[in-house]
Chains A and B, each alone.
Chain A
Amino acid sequence: MASNKKYWKSEAELNPNDSIVETLRQNEFTEQIPVDEFLGDKESLSASSTNRRDFLKYVGFSTAAASLAACEGPVKKSIPYVIQPESIVPGVANYYATSIADGFDFASILVKTREGRPIKIENNDRAKVNGGANARVNASVLSLYDSTRVQGPSFEGSPMSWDDFDNRVKGGLRAASNSGKQIALLTQSYASPSTAKLIEEFSTVYANVNHVAYDAISEDAALSAYEAAYGERALADYDFSKSELIISFAADFLADWQGGGYDTGYASGRVPKNGKMSRHIHLESNMSLTGANADRRVPMKPSQLRMALAKLYGKLNGSTVGGGDSSVDGVVGQLATEIKKAGSKAVVVCGLNDVDAQTVVLAINKLLQSEAFDAEQPKYVRQGNAAKLNKLVADMNAGRVGALIIDGVNPLYSLPNSAEFNEGLEKVGLTVNCAFNNDETAQAVKYVAAGSHYLESWGDLEMKKGHFSLMQPTIRELFDTRQFQSCLLTWMGSDQTYYEFVKENWTNTILNGSSWGKALQDGTFAMSAPSVNEGEAVVLNTASEEEIDDLNSQNEISLATAIRSLANATSEGMELMLYSKVGMGDGKQAGNPWLQEFPDPISRVSWDNYVTVSKADAMEMGLVNENVANGGLDGSYANLTVAGVVLEKVPVIIQPGQAKGTLGLSFGYGKKAGMKEEMQTGVNAFMLYKDFNNVQSASIAKTDGMHEFACVQLHNTLMGRGDIIKETTLEIFNTKDHSEWNHVPQVSLDHQEVPATSVDLWAEFDRSIGHHFNLSIDLNACTGCGACVIACHAENNVPVVGKQEIRRSRDMHWLRIDRYYSSEETFEGDNERKDNLDGLWGENGSLGGFGEMENPSENPQVAFQPVMCQHCNHAPCETVCPVAATAHSRQGQNHMAYNRCVGTRYCANNCPYKVRRFNWFLYSNNDEFDYHMNNDLGKMVVNPDVNVRSRGVMEKCSMCIQMTQKTILDAKREGRPIKDGEFQTACSAACSSGAIVFGDINDKESKVAELKDDDRMYHLLEHVGTKPNVFYHVKVRNTNEA
């Protein structure tokens, strides 16, 4: 029976007169498809004689031709030296000792060069001061090969020869000198005795020379306070290894506080020895790297910090300090008790750029007679003088400056009053900038003298009184550049080179008969201690007794005023604390892709800076952080206002541990000029840096839109999984058996609980013969500084992938430093909470409970854990590889044969540690990834001993097999056994805190074998049974209250 039921697809179909329905009956689409748009011009298309068949023929032919041609290898050329330099053997690395002094980073380093190219920075073990390279110093070798460098001198943008340039500048200087106007040198801090002497000589050649040192991130207050107390503009030095109690008032000394370099001393006291370790109490508003490492961290507003400091002095001194409120009294009382107990073993440091605070800190340490406190041999790594700079800007605007020579600083970017500076600049007759990049200042001045990189320069340093370092070039200038000191010599009319100048100066004043060659080889030279002390004593004695009394009484008066003003510190609105990130510093290397991609140790965000707010404040203002579907982190935008200056659209990160009512913002970002577009990230915090004060009163308001972050860590807490980071307290560590605090996970075998390490799926492979490499990571010594991450980058040709790819979790870092927050007050609290969860619902229900545990606490404990390939003896990745591209070796390394890999990524999925990295794209020679591996200059940093991986292959930490193989080969060639300490990986060599130790555990005498037998040793995810060759040491916190 036929049905007259009518089926219809849309309502329109019911209407028989609908034109659309009618059209659709005839055609697939109602409208003509605009094929012309993608087929191009119709006329030219029809005019073409190539039809579709021809086209396909051509395609076929060219494909066949291309594949045939591919069968033949390309002709490669080998071009030897015409005259081979004696010291260079192709394929053998040379090492040179030199120093970095870029105004922010000062360190003695070793530079590894291959065929004359510097390719890696390493620590200089012979240096007693700042011998460790931080992340930025490690990355500085890449800045040498920056394709945006200024490549030759120019005048108003047009290139010029040095001869012309010099003549014009000399003419300008003479004119300025004759006119009686000031000749100003605005420079970075050099801490260089020879440069100081040179500038002195320069001022004898020209009249009215005024040298103004300027630090982008100022330590002016600390310098002034020290000057007032000790009569010299310098910074007191601290040796944290000598102290048992470290109290820090927002001093981020593991990062860049007063020039940094304190991590070695700090870490040495943090590893429990004979049941003792130092105790570190940190009071701060932002969550800093140092705060994260503290045993006890007290979030406080900067204004409270001042009050607390004043009151602490009062307590220690026995006087009463009035004023302020009582909010800090409790903490101060506890601090005072602990300090009194520790006596001279205690030290107090302060990171507020406030003369009063710094004066009081100096007074406290003096009062305590702190052993860690060294005012005798101060540090010279910061010399910036805010008052002189302000005067200079005023002079410029008043037309009193005839010539201005700028070196190593970028005031137009880093001065809060850069507009004023710019106006002044126009009134100066001769403006010269020894510029490295064509940055904001270089674009504003008339003469750009192309400056050299420190790896192309001569120089010397006195980082700490009596401790000298030399800087020597490791490569000839890549471009037509000249270092500032050579420019000065030329403009003075001297025909000496700066090398001769330095050598002469050293021979006459520093070496005192020691060998110049030896000093140059070591890179460092310490003046014998007695002579320094004598000199000091002589200087002090020449000042009459009265003068000293005078100075002392003056100091006392100023101290009293300082304490009064501190105690009465008040705050309005939000308190903004400006800080520097360990990855970016003052932004001098903002064009360095390694540093841009380096995830901040605390926030784990790369390619950005942001304002950090506390969770409570964020809730109040409606600021949010959320993870979107692809895993990327999004954050609200906010406008930040400081004294009328508005920073618009600053992305917001909700930072656990941020004191309520405070904000944090890092320097170094927001630079625009002279950089690739990819590197122009973040906002410029210097705009808010009024009076060089790192604490500002700010207001914050939410604005529209969400910012896309590139954050490499999605999950912030451990959710009570105590076996990833094992932690205990010093008390338990000292009193209980290690099975209590370093519990080996149990598994069920035949219904019996047995240690997970005793169960094996596989037969054991014999590794007892030959070398068996192990890597030890001490969570107590690791400060999370990230030098190892960059060292690994440099050693292993790890590609930079860019912000978007990082956001998609496609970061390529072989070594990452995981950062975990506790969701309770402590990690131990997390474990308890998890263990006590019971049932699904209710207060202890796991449904709500686990959700809450995902959120970090207001003031969490923080733990860092470097994770690289664990080189499992029973590696899960090996069993799933269909092509056997990854295999274990007798030496304990898990090998990865890139050329064998077909890119199934099974291994990465089966890796419990998530350390395998997949090359989603070709990251070299690819315009889409325009970082250093896309240009010939940047590629010069590539390590020739390590493959540059191609698209579609998996890669991972190789435990620096190229380094271990080299060590073995050297020993074989010399026919000798290998000594302990010879085996190194890039990360272990870069670790200046001694947290990462590498070696051969078959050598029973080795340090790593000893560490493996230590009670604190544990493997990551031991219950999985992977038997890794990387092991960790339980983190011990000194929570003993006095």
Chain B
Amino acid sequence: MKQVLNRVQFSKVFGLSLLLLFQLVSVTIHAQEEAAAEETAAPAGDVAAGKQLFNQNCAACHALNRKMTGPALANVEQRLYEDEGLGKEWLYAWIKNSAGMIASGDAYANKIYNEYNQAAMTAFPTLSNADIDNILAYTAAPPPAPPTAGPDVAGGTPVSGSGSGISNEIVLGALALVFGLLVVMLFLVNNTLRKIAEANGVEIVKADAKKRTPIWKAFVQNQFLVFCSVVVLLLGSAYFAYAWMSQIGVDQGYAPIQPIHYSHKIHAGDNKIECKYCHSSARVSKHSGIPSLNVCMNCHKSIYEYTGNPEGPSAEDLANGYTNEFYTKEIKKLYKAVGWDEENQKYTGESQPVEWVRIHNLPDFAYFNHSQHVSVGKIECQTCHGPVEEMEIMYQYSPLTMGWCINCHRETEVQVADNAYYEKIHTELSKKYGVEKLTAAQMGGLECGKCHY
């Protein structure tokens, strides 16, 4: 027993020390990075200001190290000077008025314009030369190099993760062991005591053992009791059978594995994207609509990798394998499906529709219209779909049973404000029912034919 306790403590200590080690390492890496950034900030501009400007103005179409809608911009100043012999002045002119440059017949301007599918670059007349200098400074700064440190950290993390967060299972296992040992010990103690008693000549007598009828026999002999308990048993089992059967086809909590691991948590939670940005047809149609892949590409044309939260993935995420690489791989799945050639920033035309697994399955005989609820009823998506912004894996939050629908119709008030449709019917009905606000049920929302046709 002592030994066991030792082991638990040992693993704790081991885990904590690993964690400490990891933190130390990451701190040093950070320090190195910052130092490196400061070192290379020597050129005229301010790298930090440049980074901010870059993200505000340029990042939609440019990245540092890869082609996007426009060319990669790392060391663009140097590259232009070396390859084309163009100086900063050219860049100032180009950034402030690219269309003018193209029109003026500048050779390189036209070349680059044609190279990138004749997509004209937005003019930035508001940027001062200093601003541009800052941006150029940022582009000239050597890129942060997390990839080199990355693998080490990633390799180290699983160990530390499992070591540090003493998981419930281990605690439970230890507890079970302790209790098991207790049982064994008690048994042994009992045995020992008996042996002592025997040795001492104490006789253990079971009081009136033979005179009593065993309780089960008495029970069997009492016919009334048997009858009653059978009735209770039957009623009880009927109750549970009914309860069990009424959940057939109710798939609350259904969370199937999807062909692409799409995280609502990242999109709707971390990035706070409005639900109806992607599920746009919920406003006008009966279907909320799974967004077509071109909607994904509105953002993912430029978001080609997952960089996650700045502190890196949480321990829990890491435990599930949700690393940045994992998410980036899912984005590549999207590219494959939509037929997006990252290298050339072009659609190949070879697309493969994504076969999502449908989570919310209403039976065909129930008609449900999203726009009625979303646009007219102004009901939050979360009312039925739950805390989607916290769902890493989407699941069915509500039971989607008729009782659930009806209940909501009984409780929910109709949004009559500023809706000319309701003016007349609202005044008349509220007078009839003597209420200020009408529920959907009073409006006729419980009638069979409103949903079944």
Contact = CB atoms under 8 A, between A and B. Distances in A.
Nearest to A896: B449
Contacts of B338: 82-83
A797 to B, nearest CB: 11
Contacts of A49: none
Contacts of A889: 444, 447-450
A75 B357 CA distance: 7
B337 interface: yes
Given A84-B295, A889-B449, A947-B365, A91 B285 contact: yes
B351 interface: yes
Interface in A955-987: 958, 961-962, 965, 968-969, 971-978
B281 A91 contact: yes
Given A78-B358, A975-B420, A977-B423, A91 B293 contact: no
A557 interface: no
Given A73-B361, A91-B285, A769-B432, A887 B448 contact: yes
A770 B429 contact: yes
Contacts of B354: 79-80
Contact of A82 (B351, B421, B429): B351
B210 interface: no
Given A79-B353, A82-B337, A976-B420, A92 B292 contact: no
A78 B356 CA distance: 5
Interface stretch (B87-95, B155-163, B367-375): B367-375
Nearest to A899: B365
B401 to A, nearest CB: 13
Contacts of B450: 889, 965
A965 B369 CA distance: 10
Contacts of B289: 80, 89-91
Given A76-B361, A92-B284, A893 B356 contact: no
Contacts of B365: 897-899, 947
A899 B452 contact: yes
Nearest to A959: B449
Contact of A897 (B357, B372, B452): B452
Interface stretch (B196-204, B233-241, B248-256): B248-256
Nearest to A947: B365
Given A82-B351, A897-B448, A965-B450, A77 B357 contact: yes
Nearest to B372: A969
The CB with the most chain B CB atoms within 10 A, among A76, A79, A91, A976, is that of A91
Given A82-B353, A969-B369, A961 B293 contact: no
A837 interface: no
Nearest to A944: B286
B189 to A, nearest CB: 49
A81 B292 contact: yes
A73 B281 CA distance: 26
B275 to A, nearest CB: 16
Contacts of A89: 280-281, 284-285, 289
B449 A958 contact: yes
Q: How large is the interface on B (under 10, 10 to 19, 20 to 34, 35 or more residues)?
A: 35 or more
A370 interface: no
A945 interface: yes
Interface in B264-298: 280-281, 284-287, 289-295
Contacts of A947: 364-365, 452-453
B440 to A, nearest CB: 12
B429 A80 contact: no
A893 B338 CA distance: 47
Nearest to B447: A889
Contacts of A969: 369, 371-372, 376
Interface in A131-185: none
Interface in A62-117: 71, 73, 75-84, 89-92
A568 B250 CA distance: 82
Given A75-B357, A89-B285, A80 B291 contact: yes
A968 B369 CA distance: 12
B168 interface: no
A80 B284 contact: no
A71 B246 CA distance: 11
Contacts of B376: 969, 972-973
Contacts of A885: 448
Contacts of B449: 887, 889, 893, 895-897, 958, 961
Interface in B397-452: 418-425, 428-429, 432, 444, 447-450, 452
The CB with the most chain B CB atoms within 10 A, among A90, A893, A948, A962, is that of A90
Given A82-B351, A92-B281, A769-B428, A898 B452 contact: yes
Given A969-B376, A973-B371, A976-B421, A80 B353 contact: yes
Interface string A763-801: 000101110000000000000000000000000000000
A900 interface: yes
B208 interface: no
B355 interface: yes
A580 to B, nearest CB: 36
Q: How large is the interface on A (under 10, 10 to 19, 20 to 34, 35 or more residues)?
A: 35 or more
Contacts of A84: 292, 294-295
A946 interface: yes
Contact of B287 (A91, A896, A971): A91
B357 A78 contact: yes
A218 B421 CA distance: 54
A387 to B, nearest CB: 54
Given A91-B289, A890-B447, A80 B421 contact: no
Interface in A879-893: 885, 887, 889-891, 893
A887 B453 contact: no
B421 A972 contact: yes
A897 B448 CA distance: 6
B215 to A, nearest CB: 37
B214 interface: no
Nearest to B375: A973
B418 A975 contact: yes
A608 B256 CA distance: 53
A81 B290 CA distance: 9
B281 A895 contact: no
Contact of B355 (A77, A768, A769, A972): A77
Contacts of B337: 82
B363 interface: yes
B372 A972 contact: yes
Interface in B285-322: 285-287, 289-295
A847 B453 CA distance: 47
Interface in B340-384: 351-358, 361, 363-367, 369, 371-372, 375-376
Given A91-B289, A899-B363, A76 B357 contact: yes
B447 A887 contact: yes
A83 B418 CA distance: 36
B371 to A, nearest CB: 6
A79 B356 contact: yes
Contacts of A972: 372, 376, 419, 421-422
B34 to A, nearest CB: 44
A6 B429 CA distance: 87
B453 A946 contact: yes
Contacts of B251: 73
A900 B424 CA distance: 33
A765 B71 CA distance: 72
Given A972-B421, A973-B376, A958 B453 contact: yes
A958 to B, nearest CB: 5
Contacts of A978: 421
B420 A977 contact: yes
Contacts of B295: 84
B450 to A, nearest CB: 7
B432 to A, nearest CB: 6
14 contacts: A73-B361, A75-B256, A76-B358, A80-B291, A80-B353, A82-B292, A83-B292, A889-B449, A896-B449, A896-B453, A945-B367, A965-B453, A969-B376, A973-B284
The 4 A-B residue pairs with the shortest CB-CB distance, nearest first, are: A895-B449, A91-B285, A84-B292, A81-B292
